[in-house]
């Protein structure tokens, strides 16, 4: 007899696992702000073996998402403390073995399961406090999903405001930008317990969602301010030239990815 559970803690029944087994389903809305920064600031975030994108290599996307997510039992949706979370992430693009990928370099969420689900997928998640204006259908306390609708968005960690953005809908859009539109290329790293500089887990993985669904989608102008922190490097990614902002309703399901390289430690 052994312990059960997709993720730790593993136990008799697996019920205590920090994550239920995939697939996982997500529905929410997303604000994507794309801009160009210094190419060096992008290139320095790529580990050996990855190259900047061929075209528009200094492009960055900063993305807010307000999610509900659940397992294939859907039980979390009736106990929404286990279903609702928000995240902010920073995406660049890279090239590996002749193919282009999207790559998340920084990300903050506000629940433990979303944090560790990210670590499983190679997203380098930290905790943060995240807010994103919601559109409304009645009354005056929120934007409508139409031109002129204005949104605010913020991120704080360690009690410091790291990001503050505003966005105004300009027009309907057929897409939500190009920086986060490719399959993801992530590393999954876990240093060896010996603390000698080696990584026990050192994998390069790629993944895509399945059954993605896009609802209403809009583009518009934005403003983005970046604040500093002793434990962040976001200020190296200052906007030099805005591309565009996008707001959209989005959903997807996720089941698994593919390991592209595996350099895990072996033996003891």
User: What do you get for the CA distance between the two ends of the chain, in Å?
Assistant: 25
- What sign does the CA torsion over 47, 187, 201, 64 have? positive
214 forms part of the interface with a second copy (CB under 8 A): yes
Applying the rule CB under 8 A, the residues between 85 and 104 that interact with a second copy are none
191 forms part of the interface with a second copy (CB under 8 A): yes
Residue number, 227 or 242, with CB nearest to a second copy = 227
Residue number, 208 or 240, with CB nearest to a second copy = 208
Which one of residues 33, 61, 63, 70 is an interface residue with a second copy (CB under 8 A)?
A: 70
Minimum distance, C-beta of residue 153 to a second copy, in the bound complex (Å):
7
Binding segment (CB under 8 A) for a second copy, from list 53-61, 91-99, 153-161, 171-179: 153-161
Q: In sequence order, what are the residues at sequence separation of 6 or more whose Cβ sits closer than 8 angstroms to the Cβ of residue 93?
A: 52, 53, 57, 59, 100, 101, 102, 103, 179, 182
Q: Helices in the chain by DSSP H: which ranges? A: 39-43, 112-121
Binding segment (CB under 8 A) for a second copy, from list 68-76, 91-99, 172-180, 239-247: 68-76
**From CA 196, how far away is CA 198, in angstroms rounded?**
6
**Using an 8 Å Cβ cutoff, are 113 and 121 in contact?**
no
156 forms part of the interface with a second copy (CB under 8 A): yes
Q: Helices in 82-143 by DSSP H: which ranges? A: 112-121
Minimum distance, C-beta of residue 159 to a second copy, in the bound complex (Å):
4
- What is the rounded (10 degree) CA torsion for 67, 246, 23, 79? 10
Question: Could you tell me the CA-to-CA distances from 109 to 87, 92, 123, 174, 208 in Å, in that order?
Answer: 4, 18, 11, 28, 20
Minimum distance, C-beta of residue 69 to a second copy, in the bound complex (Å):
5
Q: Determine how many CB atoms are found less than 10 A away from the CB of residue 163.
A: 22
One symbol per residue from 103 to 142: x for binding a second copy (CB under 8 A), - otherwise; what is it?
A: --xxx---xx--xx--xxxx-x-xx-x-xxxx-xxxxxxx
Minimum distance, C-beta of residue 219 to a second copy, in the bound complex (Å):
18
**From CA 191, how far away is CA 263, in angstroms rounded?**
12
**Using an 8 Å Cβ cutoff, are 185 and 94 in contact?**
yes
Applying the rule CB under 8 A, the residues between 228 and 267 that interact with a second copy are 230-233, 236, 249-253, 255-262, 264-267
Minimum distance, C-beta of residue 146 to a second copy, in the bound complex (Å):
15
Minimum distance, C-beta of residue 167 to a second copy, in the bound complex (Å):
9
Which one of residues 95, 201, 238, 242 is an interface residue with a second copy (CB under 8 A)?
A: 201
Which one of residues 152, 170, 183, 242 is an interface residue with a second copy (CB under 8 A)?
A: 152
Minimum distance, C-beta of residue 70 to a second copy, in the bound complex (Å):
5
51 forms part of the interface with a second copy (CB under 8 A): no
């Amino acid at each position: 007899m052994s312990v059960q559970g997709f993720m730790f803690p593993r136990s008799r029944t697996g019920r205590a696992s920090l994550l239920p087994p995939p697939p996982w389903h997500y529905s929410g809305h997303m604000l994507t702000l794309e801009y160009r920064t210094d190419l060096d600031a992008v290139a320095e975030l790529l580990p050996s073996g990855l190259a900047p994108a061929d075209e528009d290599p200094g492009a960055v996307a900063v993305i807010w998402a307000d999610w509900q997510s659940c397992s294939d039992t859907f039980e979390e949706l009736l106990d929404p403390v286990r279903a609702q979370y928000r995240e902010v992430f920073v995406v660049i693009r890279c090239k590996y073995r002749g193919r282009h990928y999207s790559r998340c370099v920084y990300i903050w969420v506000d629940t433990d399961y979303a944090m560790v689900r990210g670590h499983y997928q190679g997203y380098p998640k930290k905790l943060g406090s995240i807010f994103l204006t919601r559109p409304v259908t009645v009354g005056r306390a929120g934007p409508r999903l139409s031109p002129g609708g204005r949104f605010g968005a913020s991120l704080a960690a360690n009690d410091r405001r790291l990001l503050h953005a505003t966005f105004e809908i300009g027009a309907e859009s057929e897409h939500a930008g190009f920086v986060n539109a490719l399959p993801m290329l992530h590393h999954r790293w876990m240093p060896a317990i010996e603390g000698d500089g080696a990584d026990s887990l050192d994998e390069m993985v790629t993944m895509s969602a399945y059954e993605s669904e896009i609802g209403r989608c809009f583009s518009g102008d934005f403003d983005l301010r970046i604040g500093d922190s002793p434990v962040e490097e976001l200020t190296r990614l200052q906007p030099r030239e805005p591309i565009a902002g996008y707001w959209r309703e989005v959903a997807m399901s996720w089941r698994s990815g593919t390991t592209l390289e595996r350099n895990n430690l072996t033996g003891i």
